Amino acid sequence: MDKLSYKQMLTEEMSKVSELENEINRLQILVAKYKDEQKKITKMVYDNSNNMELGKKIRNIIWQEKEDEETNQMSLF
């Protein structure tokens, strides 16, 4: 292989590394988001001894997330 081929291979690999780093960053953000949600739900469980109240609060969170997703989808169009 000549020098040009090595440079092309290096460029391709650097591009792949950059893409993987971006994906790692995206996943780290998701992990942080879900850790926060898990902490919020755990706190709700400890704060609400009544199962009906707890269920209502959790349903409200889920419904709110669905509404937010639908709103975000609509704003794309």
Q: Three-state SS for 39?
A: helix
The pLDDT tens digits for 20-76 are 999 999 999 999 999 998 998 889 888 888 888 888 888 898 888 888 877 766 555
Tell me if the pTM is above 0.85. Answer: no
Tell whether the model's pLDDT for residue 15 goes beyond 80.
Answer: yes
Residue 14 pLDDT class (50, 70, 90 cuts): very high
Predicted confidence at residue 17, as pLDDT, reads: 97
Predicted confidence at residue 74, as pLDDT, reads: 56
- Cβ-proximal residues to 45 (8 Å cutoff; 6+ apart), any chain: 54
Decide: 64 and 47 in contact? Cβ < 8 Å: no
Decide: 37 and 31 in contact? Cβ < 8 Å: no
